[in-house]
Amino acid sequence: MKLEFNKDQLLNALNTVTRAIPTRTTNPILECVLFEAADHEIRLTANDTEFGIETVVDGTIAEEGKLAIEAKLCQEIVRKLEGGDSPVVIESDETFLTTIRCEDAVFKIPGRDGEEFAYLPEIDRSHYISMSQFTLKQAVQKTIFSAALNDSNRMMGGLFLEVNGEKARFVALDGHRIAVQNVTLREDYGSAKAIIPGRTISEISKLMTDDNEKEVVLFFSENQVLFSFDRTVIVTRLIEGEYFNIDRMISKSYETKVTVSRSRFLSDVERAVILIKESDHKPVILDIQSGEIRLQAKSAFGSMNSRLQCEQAGRDLMIAFNPRYLADALRNIDDDTVAMYMTNARAPMYFCDDRESYFYLILPVNFVV
């Protein structure tokens, strides 16, 4: 096999597919990226059997073939090459000894037979939904922070996607909070449900653009989902099982409603975070009375107090939260003002807009004044 590439285009393709390279594996072929040149097209593929990425890259095919190269090594070599107008040449012989050459730099590294590589599984493409890359990227970013990515409970480490007609709902939770984003699709796609591994969908969203005109299509099978966008295809295995009944967890009743400047409220909460280490489990206390939020935080490092004007409907209330959970939710709301809905000091609080485009629920914590 012999191929020529523009350095930047090759490096971009390698940066894309290496997201599917496992950090630990006992199977060396899973640490490789497959170069496949045939039918006037060059494809790069990485696949850890749970999560696989394939992308097409421009280049010149001098000799067709298949070759697997250790992915991280190849990526680092290409990154350090001079590039510019000089092509990057990748060439292998019958023993799969691989030469990577650009200008005066020549690397010789061992390759592997591409026939050993596990291809991405075929997915039936009859059941799908389509949305803009921007929409999917935003929906993921505004929910995934609430998933318990390091938890042994796989359900809590996933992002739940539910489609009903022209509506799609993205949900993530970790036992202490719930994040929901509701999206309107461009047509009726029937119904679908999928629990996508959180780390996987987070990596996929990073490959999306902020262009509202570029589409991504999701194809669903019983235990896998395929993402197709630009010249890239990504397949991931789904988390099996029935997701939590979110509608039962969410109650929209309240006795106190507070509307406040989002940026001012976030600034006060972030100042409280300065004094509170995550391991301390110290809360931020909100004392809501007479159209004012008095915010208090105290730890071994000191104390902080602030006052914030608000629009209050309902009774006065003192309630406490993990300040990082409050800050995470507020950072992912785009509105200038935010409405908080509360019942009592032991019941969940939620943020929600009038359109119900988002819903963030946070459990309160016990506190001592």
Q: What pLDDT, on the 0 to 100 scale, is given for residue 281?
A: 80
How many angstroms separate the CA atoms of 66 and 315, rounded? Answer: 70
The one-letter code for the residue type at 203 is E
CB 78 within 8 A of CB 100: yes
If we measure between CA atoms, which residue out of 324, 257, 264 comes closest to residue 288? 257
CB 193 within 8 A of CB 232: no
Q: Report phi then psi at 260, rounded to 5.
A: -145, 160
pLDDT tens per residue across span 8-63 = 999 999 999 999 999 888 899 999 999 999 999 999 999 998 999 999 999 999 99
Helix (H, G, I), strand (E, B) or coil at 253: coil
Does the domain formed by 128-248 have CATH 3.90.480.10?
A: no
pLDDT band at 367 (very low <50, low <70, confident <90, very high): confident
pTM of the model: 0.92
How many angstroms separate the Cα of 365 from the Cα of each of 283, 291, 349? 7, 23, 11
Q: Where are the domains of the chain?
A: 2-116, 128-248, 251-362
Fold (topology level) of 251-362:
DNA Polymerase III; Chain A, domain 2 (3.10.150)
How many angstroms separate the CA atoms of 28 and 18, rounded? Answer: 14
Running DSSP on this structure, what letter comes out for residue 152? Answer: S
Angle at 297 between CA 294 and CA 319, to 5 degrees: 55
How many angstroms separate the CA atoms of 4 and 10, rounded? Answer: 9
Quick check: do 2-116 and 128-248 share a fold? yes
CB 269 within 8 A of CB 327: yes
> What's the rounded mean pLDDT across residues 298-304?
88
Running DSSP on this structure, what letter comes out for residue 20? Answer: G
Angle at 284 between CA 287 and CA 330, to 5 degrees: 95
Q: What pLDDT, on the 0 to 100 scale, is given for residue 119?
A: 86
pLDDT band at 229 (very low <50, low <70, confident <90, very high): very high
Residue 80 has pLDDT above 90, yes or no: yes
pLDDT band at 144 (very low <50, low <70, confident <90, very high): very high
**What CATH architecture is 2-116?**
Roll (3.10)
